[in-house]
Structure 1
Amino acid sequence: MAEESFNADELNPPEWLNTLFITKVLIGHEKAPELKVIDLTFAPASPKGDHYASIMFRAKVKYTTQKGEFTKSLIIKTMPEEEGLKKDLFADSPLFITEIGMYSKVLPECERILREVKDNARLYVDCIYHSLSPKQVIIFDDLVEMGYTVVRDRWLTQEEICSAYGKLARIQAISMKMINERPDYLKDFKNGMCEMPGLMDSPIINAGMAPFIEFLGSTPELNKYQAYFEKIKLRYKERLRQTMQEYRNNPQPDGYYVLCHGDYHCRNMMFKHNKETGGFEDCMLLDFQGCNVTPMAVDLIYSIYMLMGPKQRAEELEHLLKYYFTVLLETLRKIGYQGKMPTPLGFWAEFKRHRYYEFLMVSTFLPISVGLRTYNFDIEEMLYNDETRRKCYHLKEYVVDAKKMLERFERSGYFEDL
Structure 2
Amino acid sequence: MTEEEEPKSTIAYQPNPQWICSEYVQKVLRKFFNDNDLQIIEISIMPATAKGENYASTMTRVRAKYASPDQRNLQVGSYLIKSMVDNDEFVCEKLSVTAVFPREMEIYSIVIPKLHKILQSKSLDEELAPAIMDVDYERDSIMFEDLKVRSFVSADRVKGLDMVHAKMVLRKLAKWHAASAVLGNVEPEIFLSYDRGMMTRRTDVHVPFYLNSLRFCASALSRIPGYEKYASKMFDLQTELIELGSRAFDSKDNYLNVCAHGDLWTSNVLFKYNENNEPVDAILIDFQNTFWGSATIDLHYFFNTSLSDELVLDGQEELVQYYYEKLAENLRSLEYKGKIPTLKGFWIEFMDTSFYGFVSACLVKPYLINEDAAADADMAALLLENERADNFKKAVYSNERVHRYLKKLLPIFDRKGLLDPHQ
TM-score by length of 2: 0.87
Tell me whether 1:106 sits opposite 2:106 in the alignment: no
Tell me whether 1:143 sits opposite 2:143 in the alignment: no
The residue correspondences of 1:175-254 to structure 2 (distance < 5 A) are 175-194=180-199, 199-202=205-208, 204-244=209-249, 246-247=250-251, 251=252, 253-254=253-254
1:371–1:377 CA contact under 8 A, matched in 2: no
2:57–2:85 CA contact under 8 A, matched in 1: yes
What is the letter of the counterpart of residue 304 of structure 1? F
CA distance in 2, matches of 1:188, 1:326: 29
CA distance in 2, matches of 1:93, 1:399: 31
Q: How has the CA–CA distance of structure 1 residues 224 and 90 changed in structure 2, closer, same or farther, with 3 Å as cutoff?
A: same
CA distance in 2, matches of 1:260, 1:169: 10
CA distance in 1, matches of 2:256, 2:125: 26
Q: How has the CA–CA distance of structure 1 residues 93 and 254 changed in structure 2, closer, same or farther, with 3 Å as cutoff?
A: closer
TM-score by length of 1: 0.88
Q: Secondary structure at the match of 1:124?
A: coil
Give the match for residue 36 of structure 2.
33
Q: Secondary structure at the match of 1:78?
A: strand
Give the match for residue 377 of structure 2.
379
Give the match for residue 272 of structure 1.
272
Structure 2: give runs of 5+ residues left out of the alignment: 1-6, 383-387
CA distance in 2, matches of 1:314, 1:82: 41
- TM-superposed deviation, 1:200: 2.4
1:62–1:70 CA contact under 8 A, matched in 2: yes
What is the letter of the counterpart of residue 257 of structure 2? Y
Moved more, 408-417 or 207-216: 408-417
Moved more, 333-342 or 395-404: 395-404
1:90–1:197 CA contact under 8 A, matched in 2: no
2:377–2:392 CA contact under 8 A, matched in 1: no
Structure 1: give runs of 5+ residues left out of the alignment: none
CA distance in 2, matches of 1:412, 1:188: 33
CA distance in 1, matches of 2:347, 2:412: 13
Q: How has the CA–CA distance of structure 1 residues 303 and 58 changed in structure 2, closer, same or farther, with 3 Å as cutoff?
A: same
- TM-superposed deviation, 1:24: 1.6
Give the match for residue 258 of structure 1.
258
CA distance in 2, matches of 1:57, 1:41: 10
Q: Secondary structure at the match of 2:349?
A: helix
Aligned match for 2:413, one of 401, 409, 414? 409
What is the letter of the counterpart of residue 303 of structure 2? I
Q: How has the CA–CA distance of structure 1 residues 80 and 414 changed in structure 2, closer, same or farther, with 3 Å as cutoff?
A: closer
Q: Secondary structure at the match of 1:34?
A: coil
1:98–1:291 CA contact under 8 A, matched in 2: yes
Give the match for residue 355 of structure 2.
356
Give the match for residue 20 of structure 1.
23
CA distance in 2, matches of 1:84, 1:4: 27
- TM-superposed deviation, 1:75: 0.6
- TM-superposed deviation, 1:327: 1.1
2:196–2:203 CA contact under 8 A, matched in 1: no
CA distance in 1, matches of 2:88, 2:390: 22
Tell me whether 1:339 sits opposite 2:344 in the alignment: no
2:114–2:183 CA contact under 8 A, matched in 1: no
Q: How has the CA–CA distance of structure 1 residues 9 and 89 changed in structure 2, closer, same or farther, with 3 Å as cutoff?
A: farther
Give the match for residue 56 of structure 1.
59
Deviation string 1:25-66 (CA, Å, 9 cap, x unpaired) is 111111112211111120112233221111111111111122
Deviation string 1:148-181 (CA, Å, 9 cap, x unpaired) is 1112374323211211111111111112222333
What is the letter of the counterpart of residue 27 of structure 1? R
Q: Secondary structure at the match of 2:169?
A: helix
- TM-superposed deviation, 1:355: 3.4
What is the letter of the counterpart of residue 267 of structure 1? S
CA distance in 1, matches of 2:231, 2:80: 46
- TM-superposed deviation, 1:343: 1.9
- TM-superposed deviation, 1:228: 3.8
Q: Secondary structure at the match of 1:25?
A: helix
2:51–2:375 CA contact under 8 A, matched in 1: no
Q: How has the CA–CA distance of structure 1 residues 176 and 120 changed in structure 2, closer, same or farther, with 3 Å as cutoff?
A: closer
CA distance in 1, matches of 2:392, 2:12: 20
CA distance in 2, matches of 1:174, 1:95: 22
CA distance in 2, matches of 1:369, 1:81: 22
Moved more, 62-71 or 387-396: 387-396
Q: How has the CA–CA distance of structure 1 residues 197 and 337 changed in structure 2, closer, same or farther, with 3 Å as cutoff?
A: closer
1:216–1:223 CA contact under 8 A, matched in 2: yes
2:211–2:241 CA contact under 8 A, matched in 1: no
Q: How has the CA–CA distance of structure 1 residues 84 and 59 changed in structure 2, closer, same or farther, with 3 Å as cutoff?
A: same
- TM-superposed deviation, 1:3: 4.3
Aligned length: 406
Tell me whether 1:67 sits opposite 2:74 in the alignment: no
Tell me whether 1:328 sits opposite 2:327 in the alignment: yes
Q: How has the CA–CA distance of structure 1 residues 37 and 367 changed in structure 2, closer, same or farther, with 3 Å as cutoff?
A: closer
CA distance in 2, matches of 1:91, 1:9: 20
Moved more, 317-326 or 135-144: 317-326
